[in-house]
Amino acid sequence: MKYTIIASPIGDLLAARDEDGLAELQLPAGKHAQRPQQAWVRDDSAFDDVRTQLEEYFEGERTEFDLPLSPSGTAFQRRVWTALRDIPYGETRSYGQTAQAIGSPSASRAVGLANGQNPIPIIVPCHRVVGADGSLTGYGGGLDTKRWLLGHEAQHAGLFAL
């Protein structure tokens, strides 16, 4: 596995990829420690596509990512993560709406757990999932980061509505 560090407005992001695609994007804050595993090898040149697309996102120029992804998770988690990518830029969905979207309407708690295990935040936009009443609920990168990402998208979403 190769990794790099990518500077961003929310702090340094740690990106890791295997031969199939991006496997992890670790945020600078929150409950998941940001550190490469011992067997990983730093290779900054292997992440030009990821770096470019994240820079475009943070500049408000990109609303969707087009990167090969290789997240590790259960079949259920991967279904949830696929559904997260269908949430439009600048919009939010509740855990219940996400459960409905994957055909498991009674699985909102399981969706929340899968959302919290998303190894590729921002690119797989788990920050767009909120409580049923619209409140900001837990986020692996911390609620301040979630608030920043949602505010960033809200600020730029109007630029893309023609």
Report how far apart, in Å, the C-alpha atoms of 65 and of each of 47, 59, 120 are: 14, 14, 12
76: which residues sit within 8 A by CB, 6+ positions away?
Answer: 110, 114
Q: Is there a catalytic annotation at residue 68?
A: no
Residue 4, burial from CB neighbour count under 10 angstroms (0-12, 13-18, 19+):
buried
- How buried is 35 (Cβ within 10 angstroms: 0-12 exposed, 13-18 middle, 19+ buried)? exposed
Sort 127 into a burial class: Cβ within 10 Å, 0-12 / 13-18 / 19+.
buried
On whether the CB atoms of residues 156 and 148 are closer than 8 A, the answer is no
Catalytic residue among 25, 87, 126, 150: 126
Residues with catalytic function: 126
